Every structure is written in C-alpha cells, then in structure tokens.
Structure 1
Amino acid sequence: MSLINVTNLTFAYEGSYDNIFENASFQIDTDWKLGFSGRNGRGKTTFLNLLLGKYEYSGNISANVSFEYFPFHVENKKNNTLDVISDSFPDYIHWELMRELSLLKVSEDVLYRPFDSLSNGEQTKILLATLFLKENSFLLIDEPTNHLDRNGRKLVSDYLKTKSGFILVSHDRAFLDNCVDHILSINKTNIEIQKGNFSSWWENKARQDNFELAENEKLRKDIKRLSDSAKRTGNWSHEVEKTKNGTRNSGSKVDKGYIGHKAAKMMKRSKSIEQRQQSAINEKSKLLKNIENSDSLEISQLAFHKNQLAELNNISIFYGERMVCADISFTIEQGERISLSGKNGSGKSSIIKLICGEDISYTGTFRKDSQLQISYVSQDTSHLQGNLSDYAAENGIDESLFKSILRKLDFSRDQFEKDISAYSGGQKKKVLIAKSLSENVHLHIWDEPLNFIDIISRMQIEELLLEYSPTLIFVEHDSEFCENIATKTIEL
C-alpha cells in the first residue's frame, strides 16, 4: 500500500480564465478500487492527464507508483494481437496473460489474429488484461464501457471487482456499484472521496442536499427578518437625525448634540444589524454549493392519427450474403418505449436504419405510415461543428428551447460561445439529445444515446421519459436505464 498525495492542485487550460481545479487537496490509497464521478466537462479526463504528467500545473502530486492509462495507443493495429501486447509490455509472462484472458473469457486464438480484426469488446479486454499484468502500476481506466454490450459490461465489471489499484471513469451505475469500493467525485465547488460504491455515495449526497435545502430555507427566513429589522432601524435613525433641524414641542431650541448622539447610536445599531445580515448572507453562500442543476426537462411529442406507427413481421436483414438478424417481429404503438437488446453485431442498429428509411436489404414485411415523423440520434458525433445558434438554424429547431435543454443538462453559458467540435464526448451527445427533444416528431429513435453522458444527466433524461411518455425506440447498454425506461424489450 502507498499513497497518492494531491496538494493545492490548481489548473486551467491556456487562454481560459476559469480554473478547472483550484487548491484541491486529497489522498488516494493505491489499494482502492476508485470510481470517478462528475458531470461532463468538470475535469475527469483532465485530472487523469495531470496524473500522467501531460500538463503543467501548480500545487503538488506525489506518488510511488507508475500510472498506466486505458485505452493506451496501439501504434499498428494490423499487427497480431500478441505483438501488440509485446510492444506495450515486453516483459510479460505468458501464463499470467492466459490467466487474465481466462477471467475475461477471451479465447487464446484471439492472440494470433490482427488486432484490428477483433471486436471493440475484445480489444477492450485485451488492453485491460495487458495493463493489469504490469506490477507497481496504478491504472487510470477511462470509460471502458463505451464499446461493450450488456453482457460484456457485466464480465468486465466482475473482472475489475477482483482487482485493486485503479481509478475508473464510468457513467454506468450498475457497472460502478459492482466493482468499486470508493468514489472520487468532482463536485461544483470541491473534490471529495467517500468510501462505498456509487449508490451509497448518491444516497449520502441526496441526504446532504436535503439538509442544505432545509437549512437554506431557515436562513432565507432569517435574512428577511434581519433585512426588515435593519430597514426599520435605518428609518428610525434618519427620523431622529431630522429632528436636529426642528424644534421641541415647548418651542425651545432642540439640543442638536443630544439628538446627534442619539442618531449616531441608532445608526450604529442599524449598521450592526446590517453586518449581521451580511454575515447571514455569507453563511448562506456556503450552502447549496454542490447541489447539481437537475431541473426537469420538457418535450411535447406530436400525436399520431392512429395508434400503430409501424410493424415489422419476420424481418431478416442482410449485408451482401451475410445475414445479421433473422425473423424479427414487433409493432410500434404510441406511448411505447421499446428497448432493442442483444450482443454487439446482432442487428440492433440495422433494425433502426430500416425503420428510419435507409436503404437496407431485407426480407419479410415492414410497414410504416408515410406521414410518420422521426427524430434520430446516432452513435456518431464526429460531424458536429460550428456554433449552437447556427446548428439550431440549420436543423430548423427553436434555438431558445434547444439552449434551455442544454442549460438544464449542465451546459454553462460560456459553452454556448464555443465551437461544438471543441466539446467533450458527453457534451456532444447532449447536443444530439437536445436537438432530438426540440424536434416536432411522432417517434424518437436513439442509438446508444448515453455514451459519455454523466450519470446525473442520465437520471434527468430518465425522469423526462417517464413523465412525458414519448414513443421511443432505443439501443442502450446501461442496464439500469433500460430497466427503468423500457415498456417493451425486443431481444435480437
């Protein structure tokens, strides 16, 4: 066991006026299984890069371990997988590698195939196994679930549960709960570490938020009372001051020294109350500091003129001579939220393309009303560029609604001025979802919409879908999201 000590860490990107981290201090035990949580853009990947020594910073980071980053860069993906492993770790011991691959249920023949011929899930497992072979290393595992189907996520999560000495960035609640024993969270104003998994951290956070909200309500009432009292006292002192230039009822001259002294005492009392008021306001500012902006979202999906929107009957889809799925049958009814489930390569995205009207080779019967309006969220965000205002205009959506949704998904106002191409992966996915929610359509179709999106935003999206019950077809490997949202599951 050793410690990673972070002391007074301060960092901002060049040209930015805002610090990502400011005087952050904490300790990490290298035996911990550490889940890393925080909303998109808060600095999770930045912190991993600071540990790797990629940026200059003020403060201090000290550690007696070497840091290894997942996913590491593979120089030549056409090499056999065994050569890729040797290039990264020449001193590996073969039987230890086979032990790791056995835990991950990867067959030995994979080692003798070109790395780029492996599925994304197989590549993920190979890279993880290679890194865990290295002794005296602390792993920085950055979103390993993005290319894993539900079964793959469970397998990798079980594998990580047997390990220790890592920081894991993931937005999959079930994945984190299964394999971490501490949570490192980047909040709005600080960084904190708690023992436990994500669910216990979230429960503690909700308890703290509720306490702060209750304290804030008490303080708000107290501030109003202090403010009213200060206002009355200020009025009294001014009224007394006015009498310096008046006369007493007896007609004799007023004692200006006496009245001035009295007014000064009243003014001093007024100032004292004002100071108490300001002190209360300052105390108030310490509250609510880490309560996340999780306002509810709103959409209004168009009603369709009949209940059934589309029907698939015994559909089989082909790419050339290769059949990717067979005998798929289901209907799409208004108000249904349909989860397409299955392993990677089982045809989920192909079914979506067929429904969206793409030219797909298939057999069977597919019926879709010609007037059906569809909003589609793809997996790919590489095409996103330009500013948000132009993007809204190009897509014919209401700019104010579009930006309002992004604000509620934790976009700061300065993000609105940046080019979309400079956004993080999670922020780009939020742009696609906000666009979809701003469109007037009968049916939403989302293909892995939650990749890179932070957990709190996922919960907001869940609440939205449950409240407004739009007709939705989606592919998503986040098991908790699927269980909470789907009214019907189609297994491919």
Structure 2
Amino acid sequence: MSLINVTNLTFAYEGSFDNIFENVSFQIDTDWKLGFTGRNGRGKTTFLNLLLGKYEYSGTISAHVQFEYFPFPVANKENNTLDVISDIHPDYVHWELMRELSLLKVSEDALYRPFDTLSNGEQTKVLLATLFLKENSFLLIDEPTNHLDMHARKLVSDYLKMKSGFILVSHDRSFLDNCVDHILSINKTNIEIQRGNFSDWWENKQRQDNLELAENDKLRKDIKRLSDASKRTSNWSHEVEKTKNGTLNSGSKVDKGYVGHKAAKMMKRSKSIEQRQHSAAEEKSKLLKNIENQESLKISQLAYHKNQLAELDHVSIYYGEKKVCSDVSFSIQQGERIALSGKNGSGKSSIIKLICGEELEYTGTFRKGSQLKISYVSQDTSHLKGNLTDFARANGIDESLFKAILRKLDFSRVQFEKDISAYSGGQKKKVLIAKSLCEKVHLHIWDEPLNFIDVISRMQIEELLLEHAPTIVFVEHDSEFCKNIATKVIEL
C-alpha cells in the first residue's frame, strides 16, 4: 500500500481562460478500486493525463508507483495478437498471460490471429489482460465498456472485481456497482472521494443535495424576513430622530436625551439585524455549488395514422455469402420501446439499417408504413465538425431548441463557440441525441446512444423516455438503462 497525493492542483489548457481544476487536493490509496465519475467535459481523461505527466500544471502530484493507461494505442493492428502484446509488454510471462485470458474467457487461438480480426470485445479483453500483467503499476482504465455487449460487460466487471489498484472511468451504473469500492467524483467546484460503490455515492449525493436545497430555502426566507425587519427598524429610528426638535401633542417639550437614546437603540437593533442578514447570505452562498442541473427533457413525436409502424417476418440479412442474422421476427407498434439485444456481431445494427431504409440483401418479409418518418442516432460520431449553428441549419432543426436541449445536458455557453470536432466523445453523442429530439418524426431509432455519455445525462434521458413514452427502437448495452426503459426486448 502507498498513497498518491494531489495537492493544490490547478490546470487549464493553453489558450483557455477557464481552469479545469483549481486548487484541488485529495489522497488515493493505491490498493483502492476507484470508480471515476463526473459529467462530460469536466476533465476525467484530462486528470488521467495529468497523472501520466502529459501536461504542465501547478501544484503537486506525488506517487511511488508507475501509472499505466488503458486503452493502449496499437500501432500495427494487422500484426498477430501475440506480437501486439509483446510490443506493449516485452517482459510478460506466457503462463501469466494465459491465466488472465482464461479469466476473461478469451481462447488461446486469438493470440495467433491478426489483432484487427478480433471483435471489439476480444480486443478490449486482450488489452486488459496485458494491462494487469504490469506489476507495481497503478492502472488508469478509461471507459473499457464502450462497444462491449452486456455479456462481455458482466465478464469484464467480474474480472475487475478480483483486482485492485486502479481508477476506472465508466458511466455504466451496474458495471461500477459490481467492481469498485470507492468513488472519485468531479463535481462542479471540486473533486471528492467517498467509500462505497456508485449507488452508495449517488444516494449520499441526493441526500446532501436535498439537505442543501432545504437549508437554502430556509436561509432565503430568513434573509427576506431579516431584510424587511431591518428596513422597518431603520425607518422607525429615523422617525423617532425627527421628533427630537419637535413638541409632544400635549404641547410639552420633547426629552431629547430620551428620544436620542431610543433612536440609537433602534439603530443598534437595525445593525444587528443587518449583521445576521449578512451572515445568512454568506452561509447561503456556500450552498448549491455542486448540485447538478437535471432539467427535464422533452420529445414531441408525430402521431402515425396506423398503430403498426413496421414488421419483420422471418428476416435474415446477408453481406455477400455471410449471414449476419437469421429468422428475425417482430413488429413495431406505436408507444413501444423496443430493445434489440444480443452479442456483438449478432446483427443488431443491420436490423436498424434495414428499418431506416438502407439497401441490404435479405430474405423473409419486411414491411414499413408509407411516409413513415424516422430519426436515427448512429454509433459513429467521427463525421461531426463545424459549429452548432451551421449543424442545426444543415439538419433542418430549430437552433434555439437544439441549444436549449444541449444546455439541459450540461453544455456551458462556452462550448457553443467551439468546433464540434473538439468536443469530448460524450459531448458529440449529446449533439446527435439533441438533434434527434428536435426532429419531427414518427419513430426514433438509436444505435448505442449512451456510449461515452455521463451517468446523470443517462438518467435525464431515461426520465424523458418514461415520461413521454415515444415509439423507439434502440440498441444499448447499459443493463440498468434497458431494464428501466424497454417495454419489449428482441433477443438476436
């Protein structure tokens, strides 16, 4: 066991006026299994890069361990997997590698195939196995779950549960709950660490937020009451002071000493109330700084003239000689939220492309309603570039509504000035989802919409789909999201 000490860490990217971190201090035990959470663009990957020494910063980071970052860059993906592993870790011991691959259910023959012929899940598992062969290292694991199907996520989560000494960036609640014992969270104004898994952290956060909201409400009322009392007392003091040079109704001379004493006493009381008011305002200013904006999202789907929007009857899809899915049958009725489930390579994306109107070779029967309007969110965000105004115009959506949705998904106004290509992976995904929510359609089809998207935004999207109950077909490997949202699951 050793400690990683972060003291007064301050960092901003060159040319930026905004600090990503400002005077941040905390300690990490190198035996912990840390889940790392925070909204998109808050600096999770940036912090990992600071630990790796990639940027200059002020403050200190002291540690007696080496840091290793996942995923490793693989320069020559056409090489055999064993050669890729040797390039990353030349000193590995073969039997130890086989032990790790066995735990991750990767067959030995994968080592003797070109790395680029492995599935995304197999590539992730091979690189994780290599990572955990590196002794005396503290591991920085950045979003290993993207593109892993549910079965692979459970396997990798169980694998990490047996390990220790890592920071894990993931937005999958079930995944985190299963394999971490501490949460490192980037909040709006600080970084903090709590013992427990994600659900423990979220419960504590909600409790703290509710206490702060109640305290804020109480102090707001106190400030108003004290402010009104201060004005009244001050007015009374001035009125009494005015009578010093006058006479009483009976014609007697006014006792100036008594009146002056009374006015001074009232003024003192007014100052005391002002002081209490100032203290309450100061106390109030310390609250609500880390409460996350979780405004409700909206979706306005067009009503279709028939209850059934589309139907697949014993559909099999082919790419040349290769059959990617076989004998698929289901219908899409209005109001249904259909999850397409299955291992990677089972044909989920192909089914989606067929429904969206892409020309594919298939057998069986596929019927789609005439003039059916569809909004599609793809897995791929690499094509996104340019500014948000031009993007909205090019896609024929209302710019004000589009930006309002992004604001609710935690975009700052500063982000609106940047080129979309400079956004984080999660922010790019939010651009596609916001676009989809702006489109006037009968059916939404989303292919892995939550990749890279932070947990709180996932919860907002869940609430949207539950409240407005649109017709949607989606592929998503976040088991919590699927469990909460799907009205029907089609297993491929």
* TM category, shorter: over 0.9
1:153 aligned residue: 153
Q: Distance in 1 between matches of 2:281 and 2:175?
A: 41
In the TM superposition, what whole-angstrom CA distance separates every residue of 1:408-444 from its partner, at most 9, and x where no partner exists?
1111122122221111110111111111111111100
Q: Distance in 2 between matches of 1:481 and 1:487?
A: 12
Q: Distance in 2 between matches of 1:267 and 1:14?
A: 53
1:126 aligned residue: 126
Letter in 1 for 2:156: V
1:349 aligned residue: 349
Deviation at 1:247, TM superposition (A): 5.9
Letter in 2 for 1:337: R
Matches within 5 A, 1:307-456: 307-456=307-456
Letter in 2 for 1:293: N
Distance 1:429 1:242, change over 3 A: farther
Task: Tell me which moved more, 1-10 or 282-291.
Answer: 282-291
Letter in 2 for 1:60: T
Matches within 5 A, 1:2-41: 2-41=2-41
Deviation at 1:261, TM superposition (A): 6.7
Matches within 5 A, 1:299-310: 299-310=299-310
SS at match of 1:474: strand
2:297 aligned residue: 297
Q: Distance in 1 between matches of 2:230 and 2:170?
A: 51
Deviation at 1:178, TM superposition (A): 0.8
In the TM superposition, what whole-angstrom CA distance separates every residue of 1:141-178 from its partner, at most 9, and x where no partner exists?
00000021111111111111111100000000111111
2:105 is the counterpart of 1:105:
yes
Deviation at 1:187, TM superposition (A): 1.2
Q: Distance in 2 between matches of 1:103 and 1:341?
A: 24
Matches within 5 A, 1:58-207: 58-207=58-207
Task: Give the total of aligned pairs.
Answer: 492
In the TM superposition, what whole-angstrom CA distance separates every residue of 1:290-342 from its partner, at most 9, and x where no partner exists?
22111111112111111000111111111111110111111000000000011
Q: Distance in 2 between matches of 1:62 and 1:327?
A: 58
Letter in 2 for 1:378: S
TM-score, normalised via structure 2 length: 0.96
Task: Tell me which moved more, 140-149 or 104-113.
Answer: 104-113
Q: Distance in 2 between matches of 1:231 and 1:482?
A: 57
Aligned Cα root-mean-square deviation (Å): 1.7
Task: Tell me which moved more, 216-225 or 128-137.
Answer: 216-225
Letter in 2 for 1:176: L
* Structure 2, gaps ≥5 residues long: none
Matches within 5 A, 1:245-260: 249=249
Task: Tell me which moved more, 322-331 or 386-395.
Answer: 386-395
Q: Distance in 1 between matches of 2:476 and 2:249?
A: 85
Deviation at 1:254, TM superposition (A): 7.1
2:491 aligned residue: 491
Identity %: 86
Deviation at 1:394, TM superposition (A): 1.9
SS at match of 1:311: strand
Deviation at 1:222, TM superposition (A): 1.3
Q: Distance in 1 between matches of 2:195 and 2:379?
A: 34
2:478 aligned residue: 478
Letter in 1 for 2:192: E
Distance 1:269 1:464, change over 3 A: same
Deviation at 1:286, TM superposition (A): 1.6
Q: Distance in 2 between matches of 1:174 and 1:249?
A: 80
Deviation at 1:475, TM superposition (A): 0.3
Letter in 2 for 1:447: D
Letter in 1 for 2:132: F
Q: Distance in 2 between matches of 1:135 and 1:358?
A: 49
Q: Distance in 1 between matches of 2:302 and 2:127?
A: 46
1:275 aligned residue: 275
In the TM superposition, what whole-angstrom CA distance separates every residue of 1:17-53 from its partner, at most 9, and x where no partner exists?
2211111111111111110011111111111001000
SS at match of 2:382: coil
SS at match of 2:146: helix
Q: Distance in 2 between matches of 1:244 and 1:3?
A: 71
TM-score, normalised via structure 1 length: 0.96
Q: Distance in 2 between matches of 1:305 and 1:237?
A: 73
2:238 is the counterpart of 1:238:
yes
Letter in 2 for 1:318: Y
Q: Distance in 2 between matches of 1:359 and 1:258?
A: 97
Letter in 1 for 2:86: S
Letter in 2 for 1:154: K
Deviation at 1:275, TM superposition (A): 2.4
